[in-house]
């Protein structure tokens, strides 16, 4: 059985998805990155191996996400793609007529505009955490509520509190103020959900032409309070993608399947033995020009496997590679 592996390495979570030749998802893994993407990729690969059908053979590997270059080197990826393309391809597979994709992850968020099956525009926010999952988790912890129960509280709200959402500091202080004023916790939580959606639309999606049908992807799509806020904002149902938390990895798997079939190539997948290899990551500042780029690199036994991160390709050429 031919299978294809997509790996999405983000700042908060690492996702892996294995598909077959008919684009069915056979296995998937969702892990916390915990600041150590190398170990999470290795752990995820081991878990994927446990889930694989006995007759399955990996015939292509693709990586995406903020850690896509690092993961690509470790895995011997056949394809490295940005997350915009990966999310769009996966969304259009499950919802061919989608025109707008909302994607909110742990520490960043994005909006993708699609017309006639083509990505024509996008917006990203990786600076402020006010509209991301990590901020929601922090507030749930502060309120002594499980993040899994956050959506249920929001759905019970009948008179949501108005919470400032432009900044995490202001939002948190506003929530504390509303608590001191005696607002019910359900109304405070749903007010926070509404403020997150307002912040997202006024920041990430500012100036974008939002059209239905709309898909909501990323781990935050599990939060029913955020879903309710999106639905009420647009007065229409926002579609929650299946495997919404895995869509980047699934899209990467779709892309590498197409790539390998079109080129009839043999995969460069490094194999499951990489889980036993010790990798070292480091970085340095390039002083060859005034840009002062931070160059990342990965090595094994003192040998540099790859470097990336510069505005030019000076450091992407490695002797002997």
The span from the CA of 168 to the CA of 139, in Å, is: 10
- Is the fold of 2-85+248-276 the same as that of 96-240? yes
Q: What pLDDT is attached to residue 128?
A: 59
8-22 residue pLDDT tens: 998 788 999 999 999
Q: What pLDDT is attached to residue 199?
A: 85
* Dihedral of alpha carbons 74, 25, 122, 221, sign: negative
Least confident of 234-248, 260-274, 307-321: 307-321
Average pLDDT of the chain to the nearest whole number: 88
B/e letters for 94-130, b = 16+ CB within 10 Å, e = fewer, are bbeebbbbbbbbbbbbbbbbbeeeebeebbebeebbb
Mean pLDDT value across residues 257-262: 94
Q: What pLDDT is attached to residue 317?
A: 54
Mean pLDDT value across residues 110-133: 83
Query: Is the model more confident about 126 or about 177?
Result: 177
The span from the CA of 321 to the CA of 313, in Å, is: 14
- Locus of tokens 């108005």: 162
Q: Are 69 and 308 in contact (CB under 8 A)?
A: yes
The span from the CA of 78 to the CA of 112, in Å, is: 25
Written out in words, the top-level CATH class of the domain with range 96-240 is: alpha beta
246 CB neighbour count, 10 Å cutoff:
25
Among 89-103, 140-154, 168-182, which range has the highest average pLDDT? 89-103
- With H, G, I as helix, E, B as strand and everything else as coil, classify residue 305: strand
> For residues 17, 47, 270 and 61, what is the CA-based torsion angle, rounded to 10 degrees?
0
Query: Is the model more confident about 85 or about 37?
Result: 85
> For residues 316, 33, 192 and 157, what is the CA-based torsion angle, rounded to 10 degrees?
140
Q: What pLDDT is attached to residue 130?
A: 54
Distances (CA, A) of 318 to 56, 281, 303, 307, 310: 34, 16, 10, 8, 14
Q: What pLDDT is attached to residue 179?
A: 86
Pairing of strands 2-9, 13-20: antiparallel
CATH topology of domain 2-85+248-276: Nucleotidyltransferase; domain 5 (3.30.420)
pLDDT category of residue 36 using cuts at 50, 70 and 90: confident
Q: Where are the domains of the chain?
A: 2-85+248-276, 96-240, 280-316
276-289 residue pLDDT tens: 888 888 889 999 88
Q: What pLDDT is attached to residue 319?
A: 44
Dump the DSSP string for 170-233.
HHHHHHHHHHHTT--HHHHHHHHHHHHHHHHHHHTTTT----SSEEEESGGGG-HHHHHHHHHH
Among 166-170, 171-175, 209-213, 295-299, which range has the highest average pLDDT? 209-213
């Amino acid at each position: 059985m031919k299978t294809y592996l997509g790996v999405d390495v983000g700042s908060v979570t690492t996702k892996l998805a294995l598909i077959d030749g008919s684009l069915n998802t056979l296995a998937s893994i969702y892990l916390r990155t915990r600041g150590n993407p190398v170990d999470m990729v290795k752990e995820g690969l081991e878990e994927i191996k446990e889930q694989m059908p006995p007759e399955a053979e990996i015939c292509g590997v693709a990586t995406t996400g903020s850690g896509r270059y690092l993961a690509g080197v470790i895995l011997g990826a056949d394809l490295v793609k940005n997350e915009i393309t990966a999310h769009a391809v996966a969304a259009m597979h499950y919802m061919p007529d989608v025109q707008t994709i909302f994607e909110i992850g742990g520490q960043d968020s994005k909006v993708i505009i699609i017309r006639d099956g083509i990505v024509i525009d996008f917006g990203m926010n990786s600076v402020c955490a006010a509209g991301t999952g990590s901020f929601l988790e922090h507030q749930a912890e502060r309120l002594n509520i499980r993040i899994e129960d956050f959506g249920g509280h929001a759905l019970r709200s009948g008179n949501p509190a108005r919470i400032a959402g432009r900044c995490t500091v202001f939002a948190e202080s506003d929530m504390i103020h509303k608590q001191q004023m005696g607002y019910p916790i359900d109304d405070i939580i749903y007010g926070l959900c509404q403020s997150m959606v307002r912040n997202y639309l006024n920041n990430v999606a500012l100036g974008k032409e939002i059209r239905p049908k709309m898909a909501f992807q990323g781990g935050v799509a599990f939060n029913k309070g955020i879903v309710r806020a999106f639905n009420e904002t647009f007065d229409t149902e926002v579609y929650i993608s299946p495997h919404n938390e895995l869509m980047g990895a699934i899209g990467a798997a779709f892309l590498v399947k197409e790539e390998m079939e079109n080129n009839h190539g043999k995969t460069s997948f490094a194999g499951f033995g990489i889980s036993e290899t010790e990798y070292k990551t480091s970085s340095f500042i390039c002083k060859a020009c005034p840009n002062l780029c931070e160059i990342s690199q990965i090595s094994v036994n003192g040998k540099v496997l790859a470097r990336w991160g510069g505005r030019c390709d000076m450091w992407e050429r490695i002797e002997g590679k």
